[in-house]
Structure 1
Amino acid sequence: MIYPHGDLEEIGSDVFMIRGSIKVNPIMRISRNMGIIRENNAITLVNPIRLNHSVESKLKSLGEVKNLVRLGAFHGVDDPYYADKFKAQFWCQQGGTSYTEPTIDIEIGMGGLTPVDESEFFHFRRTIQPESALLLKRDDGILFTCDSIQHYSDYSYSNWLARLVMPHIGFPKTTMIGPFWLKLMTPSGVSLVGEFKRLLELRFDSLLSAHGTFLPKGAYSAVKTAVADAFPADFL
């Protein structure tokens, strides 16, 4: 299904995004984002979302869709469409149970492989289901995340109900560790603060998560503050 979305936007050197949306239940629609990385004529889609004909044509004009990257276990509804239509390689971690298609072509983490040069995957090691991030080492570093780290400067592409309730359920207009994600992904008796401390060993200045808005500058500091807010007793 194609949900409301915007146009192609350039956010870096041969890096683009499309902001869209998805229904999380019959009455609430929230934002969703897709990252697009171009290397020569090859296109990599990060957290893919399906597009209308007009914007898909613009996507195809950038180059050939070669790679699909699923960073989070709770995403994937549109991955089979791209895998089938473009015969693109599907990058994903093993073990996710929410969306089990398409078949994984390249397991994230296998041999240090990445879909584009000057990039690396970050793996959360202790979460209940698999979750990754992708660091693109262009410009001053762009970090792509799924549900783990999110940033909101506004609630565009969310419907009126989502805009009303999001500030009250853990999604204020700032950078945060996804509260529902943290609850669902943390094993009993375990803290994930060490995972985020490892992530903060990366260097980046921009952030594009699968929900919310693009943060073009100051992302490292914003993420560090978000981690401290999520783990006040543990983060030193």
Structure 2
Amino acid sequence: MSQFPEAMPHGDIQEVFPNVFFVTGTMKTVLMGAHWHFSRNMTIVREGQDLTLINAVRLSDEGLAKLDALGRIKHVVKIGALHGLDDAFYKDRYGATFWALPGMQHSHDLVPDRLLAEAGDLPFSGASLFVFQHTKLPECIIRIDREGGILVACDALQNWLAPDAFFSDESRQMMTQMGFFQRANIGPVWMQVNEPQAQDFVRLKTLSFKHVLPGHGSPLRDQAQEAFSERFAQVFGL
């Protein structure tokens, strides 16, 4: 598996809701002419003994042992075009079914086994898909019908309250200046790259949810719909 990027520092797997787990890791990349070193999150959903990885983050050998102890890794789901560094690792190691939106580009020439669609299947029950229709790159959000509604997001919905232990000093300073560290935020780089339109957020506001598990930042519990509705109003005047 040496052809895949090595595991980078990450935290412990936390069970944030029954059979829904969350782990924060590291991302290093060059984007918009700058070096970025920051945190990213993977959400794990368990149904029976089957695990679905959303926003996959490669874990260390110790982390993989703990992941294996949760169940069988059956599915890997890519919901944001700017993520996907570690999808091929999990596909190769576990033979997992790889799900993605049409039009996404994938590392290691990975080809989706299943395409995501709003009216289509998902790898576990009690879930639905919201797909952005007016962005330059494909992006979607999974709604899990548990605990009053849980949204699993990638870059569009973020909740970075402050830089964490997985940031470099340079990225901490740069991303503070760019306005990343706000509760219930819309990702600043995602906004620049994708130029999203208000009509998608009009539709998103109609979803019923209490919690958001973002691709970046910490889980936002209980008041997520109210907090993000306020943000949509600030940004788009909704």
The question of 1:133 aligning with 2:138 is answered no
Cα RMSD for the two superposed structures:
1.6
| 8 Å contact from structure 2 (residues 98, 112) kept in 1 | yes
Q: Show CA shifts across 1:1-24 (max 9, x none).
A: 211100110100100011111113
What is the aligned counterpart of 2:188 among 165, 170, 179? 179
- TM-score, length-normalised on structure 2? 0.91
Q: 1:77 aligns with which of 81, 85, 90?
A: 85
Question: What displacement does 1:128 show?
Answer: 1.3
1:180-224 CA-to-partner distances (Å, cap 9, x unmatched) read: 1112112xxxx6111011011111111111111111221111111
State the identity as a percent: 33
Matches within 5 A, 1:36-115: 36-97=44-105, 99=107, 101-109=109-117, 111-115=119-123
Q: Give me the whole-angstrom Cα distance separating, in 2, the residues matched to 1:201 and 1:93.
A: 22
Match of 1:164 among 158, 164, 173: 173
Whether the 8 Å CA contact 1:154–1:213 is kept in 2: the answer is: no
Equivalent residues of 1:79, 1:101 under 8 A apart: no
> TM-score if structure 1 supplies the norm length?
0.92
User: 2:223 matched to which residue of 1?
Assistant: 218
Q: What is residue 13 of structure 2 aligned with on the other side? A: 8
Aligned residues: 229
CA distance in 2, matches of 1:111, 1:142: 18
* Change over 3 Å in CA distance of 1:88–1:57 after alignment to 2: same
Q: 1:101 to 1:209 in 2, by over 3 A?
A: farther
Match of 2:41 in 1: 33
Shift of 1:111: 4.9
Alpha-carbon distance in 2 for matches of 1:164, 1:105: 40
Asked if the contact 1:151–1:174 (Cα under 8 Å) also holds between the matched residues in 2, the reply is yes
Stretches of structure 2 lacking an aligned partner (at least 5 in a row): 1-5
- The 1:165–1:68 alpha-carbon spacing in structure 2 relative to 1, beyond 3 Å, is same
Q: Deviations over 1:138-170 (max 9, x none)?
A: 112110111111111221122222222322102
